[in-house]
Amino acid sequence: MHSIKSRKRVRLSFTYLLLGVVSLSIFYPLAWTIGASFNRGNSLVSTTLIPNNPTLDHYRALTKAGGTFYYFQWFLNSLKISLFTMILSVVLVSLTAYAFSRFRFVGRKNGLTLFLLLQMIPQFSALIALFVMAQMLNLVNSHFLLILIYVGGQIPMNTYLMKGYLDSIPRSLDESALIDGASNTRIFLQILMPLAKPMLAVVAMNGFTGPLGDFALSSVILRDPKAYTLPIGLYNLISDKMGASYTTFAAGAILISIPVALVFILLQKNFVTGLTEGGTKG
Amino acid sequence: MSNTEQQGHSHARIAAIMSIIPGLGQFYNRQIIKGIIFLSVAAIYLRGFANLFNMGFWGLFTLGTEVPRDNSIFLLAEGLIALLVLAIGLLFYYLNLRDAYKNGEEIDYGLKTSSFGGSVKNMFSTSYPYLLIGPGFLLLIFSVIFPILFSFALAFTNYNLYHTAPAHLANWVGLDTFKQIFTVDIWRSTFFDVLGWTVIWTLVASTLSIALGIFLAIVVHQKDLKLKKFWRTVLILPWAVPGFVTILIFAGMFNDSFGAINNVLLHAIGIKAIPWMTNAAWTKVALLFMQSWLGFPYIFVVTTGVLQSIPEDLYEAALMDGATAWEKFRSITLPFILTQMAPIIITQYTFNFNNFNIIYLFNNGGPAVPNSTAGGTDILVSWIYKLTMQSNQYALAAALTILLSFFVILIAVLQFRRTKAFKEE
Amino acid sequence: MKSKLVKYLTVAGAAALFMGLAGCGPSSSSSSTTSSTKKSSTLLVWEDKDKAAGIKDAAAAFGKKNNIKVKIVEKTYADQLKELRLDGPAGTGPDVITIPGDQIGTAVTEGLLKELKVSQSTKNLYTKSAMNSQIVKGKVYGLPKAVETTVLFYNKKMVSDAELPKTTEEWYEFSKKQRANGKYGLLALWDQIYYAQGVFSGYGGYIFGKDSKGNFNAKDIGLNNSGSVEAADYVSKFYKDGLFPKGILGDKGINVLDSLFTEGKAAAVISGPWNFDPYKKAGIDYGVVELPNLANGKHMGSFIGVKSYNVSSYSKNADLAEKFVKYISDTKNSKVRYEKTKEVPAIKSLADSDLVKKDVDASAVAQQSLHAELTPNITEMDQVWTPINNALQVIDTGKSTSKKALDNAVSQINSAIKASDSK
């Protein structure tokens, strides 16, 4: 009895120690970024975790729009693009996945294979094509086009994920609803979608973060500094041969990270608890 | 017997043959409204796209004949769009023929063809799944399939700095570019170096983040652990901060001479500065570390969900058998997780195979290494990007895209067809 | 049976459609895919970063006179050509761009620049080498805006004028002493050929040889001759002995180098006139001198970079754009620009005037220019940068011997040139 208790204590202390170390490795870079944003100077050369002589200059620099720098405009652009990409991907992905999961039709298998292959060939290996397309449609600088391209890119992988999840929901559920006279559309909206909430959250997050992580594709479509998204703008901020500012970048990075992280933490509940609602609680 | 069969299909055949001009077969089947719709769709299609076909196919064959009037790349794009539109047209044409034949058959069997309202209803129910897929698929055609086709086509041209608009045209050169990759020593060796590292990177980086994610999920899942919510929130943070931000921050922290890792962390425990950015092997270590850091939260979150859905009775049975914790994990928890998460795990691998951001943003694919035209940590996609955007070697980049796709398809055919998502009952 | 008939008919239909419609091509040359000739009401000028102030007033005056709006957008001049490739065909491109002289050859090969009609008297306004950088196969494609070459900046607080080292050897010793105090002596981006060329030329290395007429000969690459190997060895010494930090290697090195200097951690750096203003703004009391002598007694060389105004061939207002280029590069406007931006003008009479000569910074540039040579402006130059910079980095980090790395780079350059030429 005693040995079980002490073993438990050892196990738990190891656990806390481990989690402590992991948390440190998570917090350190984040803290360092915060520190950098308050440091004087432009480079990381003399950057320290706790600035000797903190300054708000870099945050002030962000508010100064002009020339090729429009931080808050980029911020809004990015939020807009991410939001629409997220909404559209969720809608299109769940429709497509529903069809693949619940219907048997000519071309289904080929369609699935095609989706599988497409998710593995990166969209931006075809940058020139996307640029040519933007020009032919006269949609250079168009956020609308960029959103469509992002959504298109999201479809194959997420459909694949969503279909797998829908497959795991017993068909007996929709069959009994069908007998009760529910239409396909109603089964989809009222039975399957609520059950698929955890995967919907994943698809939504993929849709939201995808555009926030891309600068290669967007910098080909968006040519006007005012139309840039944050990734392009922030990347330029540290890759410019002249006038690069690592510290201003850090300040800009923090301002975008806070809202995104908040959305994540709010959505987190759906990832985790959603699955347990299936009935088998552990 | 054969006579009656001939007899029995005569309407169907005549209707189908008449529908060579869309709509006529439907008229023959006495489905006037449908016939009118088919006929007018065909007419609008032909009229609307005649010019696209004309220019498109001409451009596709010649890639232009006159500078500065023609721009090969635009002609190529138009040609491919014409092909796609043609494919959609043919699909319609096929449906038209089939419809004529089928309805003809019904007449042959002495049934009445359905009224217009009836066929609309009928169509709606049989095409319901297509309606669901339609919008997504259409978007996919133009935002993914078209660009990839374009890239593929580009590989068979000589499009590079010396063959660009407005001064020059590109030409079709067949397999020359591929020949170059495999016959010129420096290209061949670079290609295989990059491919090798791409494979290692994909396997190691993905496996590390998957293992770490699952491990931490199990650790946090322990019943007697306190502050579960807090730990989960902390562990999700690396995913919550936009990836490109973190990578660029890390790039600063790993700086050989001024980064915090060398100057603060390693310094504190008395380890000499490590050449993270200038030695390819160390850069690779740093990249693997970072990708584990960035990648594990996603797996962690999903695993946490899966863990909560493992039926408790499974464990209870095991407890009766006197299984140790490790045995329980190996025979119950892990198999359960792996089967539940198979698609997500697979997407981790495909994601890292194409993980351009981390490679490019961290050290631009560098550092430079001897005997290579790519950087020491370049993977295929980042190399392709650099060839396109920095060296203007468009055709070469496109040829590499084909090779990359070929490689991916090979793996997919070998592996993924076996997974659950593909099994049909 | 059923499906067969339907399939045959589909194929037949496809064939008919294809035959009927395909392949006639454009009915006349007028169905142009490139830009129309519609005039635009603004003239878009891409100026270098932070330099718009130098031409703002002149541009406004030009606009007023010609009844057109002149819009100035600042973009890093080295990247403008890359952006023109994307923006030009899109119809959102500029009319006038500012690019480095070594990109002229590439730009002309691609047809991105419009030929300008420039009289002999206009040509004579500019220094010969600057003007030559704008000429490809006898045709003029732009007018020089400024000339720059690398010079040595030193922090007066860290090294006084009197004790300023005169040779790279002295700098080497000086740097060693600084390192002992945890600071840096002289820093330079010698992992990039643009900077390392100064050492290379002093030892007899070169990028492209010249034929009897003085044209660059792409078949004669001197980056792996004995002089180049010696130079690379010499350069790498600074890295291996810890005088240059590894942190200034690679793409982002330039930012680190600038910060080390502006934060008073490095006594001297080799950089260009583009930093006159930023360093001043950073509050550094610096001096500028020509580059030092090398260990073999030869003066360090450097590249002359010419910045120019050029007209995009996509311009819908090409005539006016050409007029603007001539106007903004004339003597009067060049002088104003010099006063505002401190970029050394390429106009002969200005370079010789007291205005420039009395300026310490500018005269250091002029001094160094005597030992400098033009960056090759032939298209093949495009294939040189990446392989040779990679080689230098490999040498400086001690991953390969100089000879081997340079041989390798040259064979890469050769094969890249051959590959692009053959087709």
What pLDDT score does B30 carry? 82
Output the average pLDDT for chain C. 87
Coil, strand or helix at B252: helix
pLDDT score at C421: 61
Q: Do A244 and C50 touch (CB under 8 A)?
A: no
| Residues in B 10-69 with any Cβ partner in C closer than 8 A | 12-13, 16-17, 19-20, 50, 53-55, 57-58, 61-62, 65-69
What is the model's pLDDT at position C322?
A: 94
Q: What pLDDT does A179 receive?
A: 87
Q: Given a cut of 50, is residue A275 above it in pLDDT?
A: no
Question: Mind telling me how many Å the CA of A21 is from chain B's nearest CA?
Answer: 11
For residue C23, pLDDT over 70 is answered with no
Q: Give C7's contacts in chain B (Cβ within 8 Å).
A: 94
In sequence order, what are the residues at sequence separation of 6 or more whose Cβ sits closer than 8 angstroms to the Cβ of residue C354? none
List domains and CATH numbers for chain A: 70-276 (1.10.3720.10)
Q: What pLDDT sits at residue B167?
A: 80
- Mutation to test the B interface, candidates C2, C314, C404, most B Cβ within 10 Å: C2
B212 at C interface, C-beta within 8 A = no
Question: What is the per-residue pLDDT for C169?
Answer: 93
CA distance A51 to A38: 6
Please give the pLDDT value at position C31.
40
High-pLDDT (> 70) share of chain A, %:
92
DSSP per-residue letters across chain A: -HHHHHHHHHHHHHHHHHHHHHHHHHHHHHHHHHHHHHSSSSSSTT--SS-SS---HHHHHHH--BTTB-HHHHHHHHHHHHHHHHHHHHHHHHHHHHHHHH---TTHHHHHHHHHHHTTS-GGGGHHHHHHHHHHTT-TT-HHHHHHHHHHHHHHHHHHHHHHHHHTS-HHHHHHHHHTT--HHHIIIIIIHHHTHHHHHHHHHHHHHHHHT--HHHHHH--SGGG--HHHHHHHHHH-SSS--HHHHHHHHHHHHHHHHHHHHHHHHHHHHHHHTTS---
pLDDT at A243 over 50: yes
pLDDT tens-place string over residues B6-20: 556 788 888 888 888
C210/A contact by beta carbon, under 8 A:
no
List all residues 6 or more positions away from C105 whose beta carbon is below 8 Å from its beta carbon: C136, C376, C377, C378, C379, C380, C381, C382
| pLDDT at residue B67 greater than cutoff 80 | no
Residue C59 distance to chain A (closest CA, Å): 17
Domain C42-147+305-374 shares a fold with domain C149-304+377-422: yes
User: What CATH architecture is C42-147+305-374?
Assistant: 3-Layer(aba) Sandwich (3.40)
Superfamily in which the B178-391 domain is placed by CATH: MetI-like (1.10.3720.10)
Q: What is the mean pLDDT of residues C317-329?
A: 93
Report pLDDT for B2. Answer: 44
| Contact between A161 and B354 using a beta-carbon 8 Å cutoff | no
Residue in A68, A140, A238 closest to C90 by CB: A140
Residues B99-118 pLDDT 10s? 888 888 888 887 777 777 77
Q: Higher pLDDT residue, A15 or C255? A: A15
Place A157 in a pLDDT band, splitting at 50, 70 and 90: confident
B54/C386 touch (CB, cutoff 8 Å), yes or no: no
Parse chain C into domains and list their residue ranges. Answer: 42-147+305-374, 149-304+377-422
Q: Which is more confidently placed, A81 or A268?
A: A81
Place B197 in a pLDDT band, splitting at 50, 70 and 90.
very high
Which residue of B256, B279, B378, B383 to mutate against C (max C Cβ within 10 Å)? B256
B69–C34 C-beta distance less than 8 A? yes
Confidence of residue B227 (pLDDT cuts 50, 70, 90): confident
Q: What pLDDT is stored for residue C95 in this prediction?
A: 94
Q: Quick one: pLDDT at residue B291?
A: 95
Task: Categorize the per-residue pLDDT at B229 as very low, low, confident or very high, splitting at 50, 70 and 90.
Answer: confident
Among residues 64-83 of chain A, which lie with CB inside 8 Å of chain B? none
Q: Which of B129, B264, B381 is facing A125, going by the closest CB pair? A: B381
Contact (Cβ atoms closer than 8 angstroms) between residue A221 and residue A143? no
The pLDDT value recorded for residue A228 is: 93
Question: What confidence tier does C37 reach under pLDDT thresholds 50, 70, 90?
Answer: very low
ipTM of the complex: 0.87
Q: Say whether pLDDT at C275 is over 90.
A: no
> What is the distance in angstroms between the Cα of A176 and the nearest Cα belonging to chain C?
36
Give the global pTM.
Answer: 0.87
In this predicted structure, the answer to whether residue A125 has a pLDDT above a threshold of 50 is: yes
- pLDDT tens for residues B249-300? 898 889 888 888 888 889 888 888 899 988 899 999 999 999 999 999 988 9
**How many interchain CB pairs under 8 A, B with C?**
182
Q: pLDDT tens, B24-45?
A: 888 888 888 888 888 998 899 8
Q: What is the pLDDT of residues C371-381, one digit of tens each?
A: 888 888 888 88
Tell whether C258 is within 8 A of chain A (Cβ): yes
Give pLDDT, residue B170.
86
Percent residues over pLDDT 70 in chain C: 92
| Interval A61-106: pLDDT, tens | 888 877 678 899 999 999 999 999 999 999 999 999 999 998 888 8
pLDDT at C420: 67
pLDDT (tens digit, 9 = 90+) per residue, A194-206? Answer: 888 888 888 888 8
Section C293-306 average pLDDT: 91
Structural domain boundaries in chain B: 2-174, 178-391
Q: Which of B53, B69, B275 sits opposite C22 (nearest CB)?
A: B53
Is pLDDT above 80 for C209? yes
CATH superfamily of C149-304+377-422: Periplasmic binding protein-like II (3.40.190.10)
Neighbours of chain B (3+ CB pairs under 8 A): A, C
pLDDT of residue C35: 43
